[in-house]
């Protein structure tokens, strides 16, 4: 039985089906006659001889991720489901629209998509102390945000709740946990939510249907086209729909739906994604989407069970093309353990891994062997000199985070807790270079020795300083700009490293961000499909052509075309770089 609130949600969204939010708004932006007359085809109609699945619903009112919310879950089970093995899953955001149960009946019968259980999820509502008077509507909060909260809610809470049910025929429900078997779809705010499920967590979702998606400045959705262009392609397949008369009249101040969807499509094409789109003349409703839904499903499920793969070779991002070795991908260094912290490299290209929990340091040799390091301090910052000597900085009140040792033996260092930047001359003289920074962490000298870079963990900025002949600095500029995730108050910058072309690599919440010499983030390398950020990064290996990164306490590596330029190497002349 549905709760009263659950019934209200179900009837509301089933009645609309088009995901509009009010007859007044619908009328206010109805296009000229004939431009929105989309008619569903045969695949959206019940067909004689096609087995029909069954649908049921239940309330869900015990969420941990979105506490206090009440909602209705609608489940479609195809006739071909036997309960003997896990089924593929389609997640509909705002319940099941687009005549999905009928379409699935037909396409599964035709062999155009696998046996798929569909789960319609209505957005949550939190009742006030006066019950139904002025409730808190969670739809925008849950669906518009650019983070992994919704994906965790769906897979960790809704999937298990569905599996506790039985089909109308009394069969147990078993859902596949393979991301290749998961598709999500929705319209408007549900359309961006479907994309977010896969973008934020491609380890959970790979196939996306987005209708009149809200890729505007509602809660940051306008950032997606830029992120798609900059980020190394992910294993995601997308089908978009929109119409030139699409404009949600409840909030045109946040953006242009029609243009934003085209902008995202161009970004997907630029980045080499397997995607299709259906542009029309319709308004902000589900008419056109319902008409093309069968073809969208055929495209999204084509070649199943072949997995959806990332197409890194298809990107037009020149920064990615310049640095990535297409034959190499992130590889977990299992021998390094699961307690990896700050990374340090020596002149031989060996990597030293400081423990996050214990006062211990492990060494990863260029031959791949891992052993306990000797002759290095534990529990404190250190670096290596050009001569291969361990360098530390002592001093009362110093709690240094990162060190960079120059070829001449001088040291630049950050103190994140105190917000300070230090310089230690080769004779040991200490000079406070700067203070008042927001958790300065990564610090490094450009390969030509002319510029000092310092990143702030609690902001999306980094600073550039001109280095004087005596090693002191001047002309401080808030210069480097990095992306930050939806859930954070800063980029989460850890340490940094450079390559011999002058590109800057910074460990951040979004992964390794690669910045150009004009201070702009131009490429983003997520370390894992779960979109976990990098905590530390450095070049190493015998030729300094392997990038190492720590992600959630684990060490990863990948070979690059770029060659690293540690600070202890002699300065080099960098190639020309334009103003652009």
Q: Quick one: 323 and 305 in the same domain?
A: no
- DSSP 3-state assignment of 230? helix
- Whole-number pLDDT of residue 379: 86
Closest CA to 577 of 503, 499, 496: 503
Q: Does position 15 have pLDDT exceeding 60, yes or no?
A: no
Q: Quick one: 274 and 379 in the same domain?
A: no
**Rounded to an integer, what distance in angstroms lies between the CA atom of residue 207 and that of residue 300?**
6
Q: What is the DSSP letter of 51?
A: P
Q: Quick one: 283 and 388 in the same domain?
A: no
Residue 370: Cβ within 10 Å count: 17
Q: Does position 29 have pLDDT exceeding 80, yes or no?
A: no
| Residue 33 falls inside a structural domain | no
Q: Are 63 and 157 in contact (CB under 8 A)?
A: yes
Closest CA to 185 of 214, 208, 204, 206: 208
Q: Quick one: 309 and 322 in the same domain?
A: no
State pLDDT tens for residues 493-510: 999 999 999 999 999 999
- DSSP 3-state assignment of 335? helix
**Rounded to an integer, what distance in angstroms lies between the CA atom of residue 430 and that of residue 7?**
70
Q: Quick one: 291 and 332 in the same domain?
A: no
Q: Are 416 and 432 in contact (CB under 8 A)?
A: no
| Residue 25 falls inside a structural domain | no
- Whole-number pLDDT of residue 396: 81
Q: Does position 16 have pLDDT exceeding 60, yes or no?
A: no
- DSSP 3-state assignment of 108? helix
Q: Which residue has the tokens 């070795």?
A: 325
Domain boundary among 314, 343, 358: 314
Q: Quick one: 303 and 415 in the same domain?
A: no
Residue 230: Cβ within 10 Å count: 23
Quick one: average pLDDT of 124-147? 95
| Residue 579 falls inside a structural domain | no
**Rounded to an integer, what distance in angstroms lies between the CA atom of residue 127 and that of residue 287?**
32
Q: Quick one: 304 and 323 in the same domain?
A: no
| Residue 45 falls inside a structural domain | no
* Residue 42 phi, psi (nearest 5): -60, -35
| Residue 28 falls inside a structural domain | no
Question: Could you give the strand order of the β-sheet that contains 546-551, starting from the edge strand earlier in sequence?
Answer: 331-332, 554-559, 546-551, 536-540
Q: Does position 360 have pLDDT exceeding 60, yes or no?
A: yes
| Residue 573 falls inside a structural domain | no
CATH number, domain at 78? 3.40.50.1820
Quick one: average pLDDT of 513-520? 98
**SS3 assignment for 86-137:** CEEEEEEECCCCCCHHHHHHHHHHHCCCCCEEEEEECCCEEEECCEEEEEEE
Q: Quick one: 422 and 292 in the same domain?
A: no
Q: How confident is the model at residue 214 (pLDDT cuts 50, 70, 90)?
A: very high
Q: Does position 162 have pLDDT exceeding 50, yes or no?
A: yes
Quick one: average pLDDT of 540-544? 97
- DSSP 3-state assignment of 308? coil
| Residue 46 falls inside a structural domain | no
Closest CA to 498 of 433, 554, 568, 556: 568
Domain boundary among 277, 299, 314: 314
Q: Enumerate the H helices of 373-488 as residue ranges.
A: none
**Rounded to an integer, what distance in angstroms lies between the CA atom of residue 151 and that of residue 53?**
26
- Total residue count of the chain as it appears in this document: 580
Q: How confident is the model at residue 532 (pLDDT cuts 50, 70, 90)?
A: confident
Residue 486: Cβ within 10 Å count: 16
Q: Quick one: 159 and 215 in the same domain?
A: yes
Q: Quick one: 125 and 10 in the same domain?
A: yes
Q: Quick one: 463 and 414 in the same domain?
A: yes
The dihedral over CA atoms of 393, 395, 399, 402, expressed in degrees to the nearest 10, equals: -20
| Residue 38 falls inside a structural domain | no
**Rounded to an integer, what distance in angstroms lies between the CA atom of residue 482 and that of residue 460?**
5
CATH number, domain at 510? 2.120.10.30
Domain holding 548, by residue range, is 318-559
Element (H, E) at 383: strand 383-384
Domain count, the chain: 2
Burial class (CB in 10 A: 0-12, 13-18, 19+), 356: middle
Region class of 220: left (phi > 0), else alpha (psi between -120 and 50), else beta: left
Instruction: Look up the pTM and report it.
Output: 0.93
12 cis-preceded (ω within 30 degrees of 0): no
Q: Quick one: 328 and 296 in the same domain?
A: no
């Amino acid at each position: 039985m549905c709760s009263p609130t659950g019934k209200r949600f179900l009837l509301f969204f089933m009645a609309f089906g088009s995901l509009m939010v009010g007859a007044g708004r619908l009328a206010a932006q109805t296009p000229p006659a004939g431009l929105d007359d989309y008619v569903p085809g045969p695949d959206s109609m019940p067909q004689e001889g096609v087995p029909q699945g069954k649908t049921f619903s239940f309330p869900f009112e015990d969420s941990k991720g979105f506490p206090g919310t009440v909602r209705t879950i609608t489940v479609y089970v195809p006739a071909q489901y036997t309960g003997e093995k896990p089924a593929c899953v389609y997640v509909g955001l705002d319940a099941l629209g687009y005549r999905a149960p009928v379409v699935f009946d037909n396409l599964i019968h035709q062999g155009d998509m696998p046996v798929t259980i569909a789960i319609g999820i209505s957005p949550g509502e939190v009742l006030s102390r006066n019950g139904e008077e002025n409730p808190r509507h969670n739809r925008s909060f849950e669906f518009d945000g650019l983070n992994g909260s919704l994906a965790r809610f769906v897979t960790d809470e809704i999937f298990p709740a569905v599996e506790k049910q039985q089909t109308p025929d009394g069969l147990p429900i078993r859902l596949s946990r393979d991301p290749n078997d998961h598709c999500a779809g929705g319209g408007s705010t549900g359309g961006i939510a479907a994309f977010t499920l896969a973008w934020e967590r491609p380890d959970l979702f790979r196939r996306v249907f987005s209708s009149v998606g809200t890729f505007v400045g509602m809660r940051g959705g306008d950032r997606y086209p830029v992120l798609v262009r900059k980020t190394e392609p992910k294993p995601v397949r997308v089908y978009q729909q929109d119409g030139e008369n699409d404009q949600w009249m409840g909030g045109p101040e946040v953006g242009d739906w029609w243009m934003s969807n085209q902008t995202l499509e161009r970004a997907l094409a630029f980045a080499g994604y397997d995607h299709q789109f259906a542009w029309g003349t319709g308004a902000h409703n589900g008419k056109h989407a319902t008409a093309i839904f069968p073809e969208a499903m055929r495209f999204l499920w084509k070649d199943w069970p072949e997995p959806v793969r990332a197409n890194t070779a298809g990107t037009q991002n020149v920064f990615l093309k310049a640095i990535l070795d297409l034959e190499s991908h992130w590889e977990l260094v299992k021998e390094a353990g699961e307690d990896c912290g700050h990374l340090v490299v020596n002149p031989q290209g060996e990597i030293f891994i400081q423990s996050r929990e214990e006062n211990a340091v492990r060494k990863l040799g260029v031959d791949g062997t891992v052993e306990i390091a000797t002759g290095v301090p534990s529990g404190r910052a250190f670096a290596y000199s050009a001569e291969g000597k361990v360098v530390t900085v002592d001093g009362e009140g110093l709690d240094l985070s990162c060190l960079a040792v120059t070829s001449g033996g001088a040291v630049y260092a950050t103190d994140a807790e105190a917000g300070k930047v230090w310089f230690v001359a080769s004779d040991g003289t200490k000079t406070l270079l700067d203070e008042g920074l927001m958790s300065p962490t990564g610090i490094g000298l450009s390969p030509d020795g002319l510029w000092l870079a310092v990143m702030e963990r609690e902001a999306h900025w980094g600073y550039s300083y001109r280095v004087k002949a005596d090693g002191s600095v001047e002309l401080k500029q808030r210069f480097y700009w990095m992306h930050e995730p939806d859930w954070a108050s800063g980029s989460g910058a850890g340490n940094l490293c450079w390559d011999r072309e002058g590109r800057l690599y910074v460990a951040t919440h979004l992964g390794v961000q690669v910045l150009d010499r004009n201070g702009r983030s131009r490429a983003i390398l997520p370390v894992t499909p779960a979109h976990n950020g990098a905590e530390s990064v450095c070049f190493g290996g015998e030729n300094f052509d392997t990038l190492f990164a720590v992600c959630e306490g684990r060490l990863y590596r990948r070979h690059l075309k770029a060659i690293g330029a540690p600070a202890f190497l002699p300065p080099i002349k960098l190639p020309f770089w334009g103003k652009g």
